[in-house]
């Protein structure tokens, strides 16, 4: 792979669409400007291509092995991470006082995007660590921060999140891992955790597991879940890493893709010698974990986006270079073959990919931008509105890219034909890696229940109305450009459609028709996802329409491409919402009415 992102597009999204430069008005970012952002993105891209992309294929072909209770993996992973840590990229968003770069989240997400596109598997180790560190920053005690967070920030300890168990994948109410209070205030942890990404390795001095467990005697279900720090190795009072904390690697899962990231079954307390340290107060663990989960969900969406993006660019390069066939209306067999980018169906597959991956990137960066503003603003109302909107968009930012950027990879393979199906090209690996994203950090089915059953209903639909306001603003801005006339009308139509359907569904919910209300929640997720994506494209198109008149050369082509991708999304994709809305509005119960024995 020669590149995993179009830097021209990234600049457009960051500075032209999201006006990231204006964040410098906040004191925290006052020392930064576009030049400093670009410098760190340049450095990230160099490192990502030199030390991460280089072993993505090798790591896939040589997955980590379980040998004598330890994990053995190719050395390139540790080397890449040493450069990453030395460059301070794991501290991109951290305060300067902590040794960080004090960058806006939207920039640190752009950096994360580049590393993920280059090699998602290797990147997973520090990314999980960053998320765990963020959780400890928010909820850990000072002593816990000193003991566990500090070495994570120093790059000496890595982190994980341990939620699932073999009998309880998505259903956290049913976890069985026990935390029994000990006289010294710590807890004895006992149980088995499953699907733990980066759950074991020798990449760091220690691994800080953040573990959900139940204290005996607590409430049933999710209300009885507490959160614990459980290090792989004990850390003594002088902060020295010592003996095993009785966390045993029971086995590695052998996956279709994402093979470079260990995925583990871990046994805690097989010898009754596993100590955990309560984070915050008892029985509030799930809430703390969702701090990490929400971040992780947008991370999943961004990862899915970048696998799609890298695949799009690889298939684009191929399509420009590969000569094959002739135009449909010029069949002289003696004429030379044309590059396959000339064929309509190849162009369709490229445009579809472009509309998916650049649209998805736009949404993920928009979410980061919302959080930046929420964190920096001193206006309580702005903060609340941003966080509410972010809450609403999170399931979409997780699920939509994981569906459609996977589809992008499928199209990328198709463009390469037989070559795309071989392991000599990155497409099939990206497709396999990407297939994880609809599953982990809450399946897309769960995202759809979260979206419709919780987020849309929250505060009497306030978040939904906020989104509609913002889309209304975008429509208002787009109206200034006659070239966008059709898209403006279509966007308005889509908004009306979504509103009507939502009212219908919410009414059903209020009438107590819970099952019918949620029966087609996944369809609702797809519907709102497409409306949100149309909004993201309309925002981009508005900027492109404004800039194209004075643009020349490559810039002009770039803006023309943005306008055409918008047109593609509005003509080929957005109309799919029609049947979705009709199905939802009919409160169709086919899936409920099917008898089990009829399958």
The interface with its own copies within residues 342-371 (CB under 8 A) comprises 343-348, 350-351, 354
Return the H-helix or E-strand segment holding 60: helix 56-61
Q: How far is residue 202's CA from residue 15's CA, in Å, rounded to a whole number?
A: 40
Q: How far is residue 519's CA from residue 499's CA, in Å, rounded to a whole number?
A: 18
Neighbour tally for 384: CB within 10 Å: 15
The DSSP annotation for 120-154 comes to: HHHHHHHHHHHHHHHHHHHH--HHHIIIIIHHHHT
| Closer to its own copies by Cβ: residue 290 or 421 | 421
Cross-strand bridge partners of residue 138: none
Q: How far is residue 295's CA from residue 131's CA, in Å, rounded to a whole number?
A: 7
| Closer to its own copies by Cβ: residue 325 or 461 | 325
Q: Which one of the spans 32-40, 95-103, 118-126, 557-565 is the region binding its own copies (CB under 8 A)?
A: 557-565
What 3-state class would DSSP assign to 347? Answer: helix
| Closer to its own copies by Cβ: residue 29 or 559 | 559
| Span 33-52, contacts to its own copies by CB under 8 A | none
Smallest separation, CB 218 to its own copies (Å): 11
Give the CA distances from residue 598 to residues 289, 515, 518, 519, 591, in Å, rounded to whole numbers and listed in that order.
40, 20, 22, 18, 12
Q: Among candidates 106, 17, 11, which has minimal Cα distance to 536?
A: 17
Of the candidates 441, 459, 511, 523, the residue annotated as catalytic is 441
Q: Which one of the spans 22-30, 97-105, 202-210, 512-520 is the region binding its own copies (CB under 8 A)?
A: 512-520
Smallest separation, CB 176 to its own copies (Å): 12
| Span 210-239, contacts to its own copies by CB under 8 A | 219-223
Smallest separation, CB 318 to its own copies (Å): 12
Q: How far is residue 131's CA from residue 163's CA, in Å, rounded to a whole number?
A: 14
The residue from 275, 522, 530, 539 that contacts its own copies (CB under 8 A) is 522
Q: How far is residue 484's CA from residue 474's CA, in Å, rounded to a whole number?
A: 12
| Closer to its own copies by Cβ: residue 372 or 573 | 573
| Span 124-183, contacts to its own copies by CB under 8 A | 164, 167-171, 173-174
Smallest separation, CB 21 to its own copies (Å): 25
How many residues are present in the chain?
Answer: 599
| Span 413-432, contacts to its own copies by CB under 8 A | 413-414, 417-424, 428, 431-432
8 A C-beta contact, residue 13 and residue 78: no
Q: Does 270 bind its own copies (CB under 8 A)?
A: no
Number of residues that bind its own copies (CB under 8 A): 106
| Span 434-493, contacts to its own copies by CB under 8 A | 435-436, 438-440, 443-445, 448-449, 453
| Closer to its own copies by Cβ: residue 81 or 266 | 266
What are the structure tokens assigned to 486, written together? 């059709």
428 included as an active-site residue: no
Burial degree of 14 (CB within 10 A; 0-12, 13-18, 19+) = buried
Q: Which one of the spans 78-86, 204-212, 240-248, 253-261 is the region binding its own copies (CB under 8 A)?
A: 253-261
Q: Which residues have a catalytic role annotated?
A: 441
């Amino acid at each position: 792979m020669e590149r995993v992102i179009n830097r021209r597009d990234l600049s457009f999204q960051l500075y032209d669409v999201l006006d990231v430069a204006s964040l410098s008005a906040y004191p925290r970012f006052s020392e930064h400007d576009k030049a400093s952002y670009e410098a760190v993105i340049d450095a990230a891209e160099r490192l990502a291509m030199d030390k991460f992309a280089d072993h993505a294929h090798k790591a896939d072909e040589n997955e980590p092995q379980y040998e004598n209770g330890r994990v053995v993996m190719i050395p390139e992973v540790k080397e890449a991470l040493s450069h990453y840590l030395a460059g301070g990229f794991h501290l991109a968003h951290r305060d300067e006082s902590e040794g960080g770069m004090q960058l806006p989240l939207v920039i640190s997400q752009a950096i994360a995007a580049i590393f993920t596109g280059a090699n998602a598997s290797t990147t997973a180790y520090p990314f999980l660590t960053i998320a765990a560190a963020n959780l400890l920053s928010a909820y850990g005690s000072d002593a816990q921060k000193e003991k566990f967070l500090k070495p994570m920030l120093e790059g000496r300890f890595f982190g994980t999140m341990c939620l699932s168990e073999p009998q309880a994948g998505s259903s956290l109410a049913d976890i069985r891992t026990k935390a029994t209070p000990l006289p010294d205030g710590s807890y004895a942890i006992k149980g088995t955790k499953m699907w733990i990404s980066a759950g074991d390795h020798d990449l760091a001095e220690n691994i800080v597991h953040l573990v959900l467990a139940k204290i005996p005697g607590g409430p049933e279900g999710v209300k009885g879940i507490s959160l614990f720090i459980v290090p792989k190795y004990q850390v003594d009072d002088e902060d020295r890493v010592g003996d095993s904390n009785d966390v045993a690697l029971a086995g590695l899962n052998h996956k279709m893709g994402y093979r470079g990231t260990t995925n583990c079954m871990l046994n805690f307390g097989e010898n009754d010698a596993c100590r955990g340290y309560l984070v915050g107060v008892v029985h509030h663990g799930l809430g703390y974990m969702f701090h990490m989960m929400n971040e992780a969900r947008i991370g999943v969406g961004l990862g899915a986006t970048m696998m799609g993006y890298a695949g799009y660019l690889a298939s684009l390069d191929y399509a420009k270079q590969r000569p094959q066939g002739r135009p449909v209306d010029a069949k002289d067999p003696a004429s030379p073959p044309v590059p396959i980018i000339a064929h309509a169906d190849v162009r369709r597959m490229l445009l579809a990919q472009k509309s998916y991956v650049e649209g998805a990137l736009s949404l993920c960066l928009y979410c980061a931008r919302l959080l930046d503003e929420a964190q920096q603003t001193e206006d309580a109302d702005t903060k609340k509105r941003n966080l509410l909107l972010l809450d609403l968009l999170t399931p979409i930012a997780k699920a939509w890219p994981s569906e459609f950027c996977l589809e992008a990879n499928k199209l990328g393979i198709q463009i390469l034909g037989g070559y795309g199906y071989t392991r000599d090209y990155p497409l099939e690996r990206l497709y396999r890696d990407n297939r994880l994203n609809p599953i982990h950090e809450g399946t897309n089915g769960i995202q759809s229940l979260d979206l419709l059953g919780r987020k849309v209903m929250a505060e009497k639909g306030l978040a939904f109305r906020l989104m509609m306001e913002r889309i209304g603003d975008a429509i208002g801005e787009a109206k200034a450009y006659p070239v966008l006339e059709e898209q403006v009308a279509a966007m308005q139509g889509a908004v009306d459609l979504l509103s009507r359907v939502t009212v219908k569904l919410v009414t059903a919910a209020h009438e107590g028709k819970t099952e019918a209300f949620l029966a087609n929640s996944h369809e609702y997720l797809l519907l709102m996802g497409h409306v949100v994506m149309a909004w993201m494209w309309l925002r981009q198109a508005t900027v492109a329409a404004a800039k194209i008149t004075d643009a020349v050369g490559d810039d002009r082509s770039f803006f023309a491409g943005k306008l055409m991708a918008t047109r593609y999304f509005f003509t080929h994709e957005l109309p799919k919402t029609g049947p979705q809305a009709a199905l939802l509005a009919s409160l169709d119960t086919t899936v409920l009415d099917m008898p089990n024995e009829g399958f």
